[in-house]
Amino acid sequence: MLNRKSDQCNSCDNCNTRSPLFNLLNEEELKVMNTGRFEVIFNPGENIIKQGTSASHLIMLTHGMAKLYLEGIDKRNLILKLVPAWKLFGAPGLYTDFRYQYSVTALTESSACFIPSDNVRKIIRSSPDFAEGLLKHCNQNNADNYDRLVSLTQKQMPGRLADVLLYLSKEIHRSIAFNLFITRQEIGEMSNMTKESATRILKEFETEGVIKIETKTIEILKMETLKEISLHG
């Protein structure tokens, strides 16, 4: 883990990796956001935030990929989503119990920008456009989590795993063929099953010709079939 300010991100007003939400702020508001801001580089596997700790900052991933997950009972994790660059997280703790509601861990070498929560709350009070944008961001996250809840509680294991593959293809990689930077264990944690069950169902999908697996690469060969499995799983 390394603290730094990159050459491309010396301040919020000229940052080329900032969230589109920051385009809603004027020069003075950007200066407020920049006060006390710092950037950190993370190696794969390092925690960016820890569930239950003080929500001292709103965080934006500026480079890389991370996983956002709940730490459950008996050290079982449930991955809610993957976090690509430009995405914000840490907002739920701003006005609830002032603690992070989940953990976020780097999957690849990543960098994240930490903005003091007090500064964010100050801008929320002064900028209706930013407040509305952040509210929309939180509402979209809630809607996505509701969809995940239905998948995890009402679908059988093949349907849940199909949902994960469709999510990786459509939302993360935007391709029918993609390199996996998550492990079989993490695939299981995304679909609420064990590593062994995830590995077995992936093999079944491959045997049935739905997907093709080569080392850490997955290619979806029958997209409509995978959608059917997701729909009726």
Q: For the domain with range 155-232, which CATH number is right: 2.60.40.10, 3.40.50.1820, 1.10.10.10, 3.40.50.720?
A: 1.10.10.10
Distances (CA, A) of 70 to 164, 195, 215: 17, 17, 28
pLDDT tens-digit map of 179-214: 999 999 999 999 999 999 999 999 999 999 999 999
Give the residue with greater pLDDT, 167 vs 138.
167
φ, ψ dihedrals at 168, nearest 5°: -65, -40
Computed on alpha carbons and rounded to an integer, the radius of gyration of the chain in Å comes to 19
Interaxial angle between packed helices 157-167 and 128-154, expressed in degrees from 0 to 180 and rounded to the nearest 10: 150
Quick count: other Cβ atoms within 10 Å of Cβ 194?
15
pLDDT tens-digit map of 41-88: 999 999 999 999 999 999 999 999 999 999 999 889 999 999 999 888
Per-residue model confidence (pLDDT) at position 216? 87
Number of H helices, E strands in the chain: 7, 12
For the chain, the structural domain boundaries read 2-152, 155-232
Pick the closest to residue 21 from 131, 178, 155 (CA basis).
131
Per-residue model confidence (pLDDT) at position 15? 65
DSSP H stretches of helix in 75-221: 117-126, 128-154, 157-167, 184-190, 195-207
Give the residue with greater pLDDT, 90 vs 208.
208
pLDDT tens-digit map of 94-131: 888 899 999 999 999 999 999 999 999 999 999 999 99
Instruction: Name the CATH architecture for the domain at 2-152.
Output: Sandwich (2.60)
pLDDT tens-digit map of 221-233: 999 999 999 998 7
207: its two tokens:
């045997």
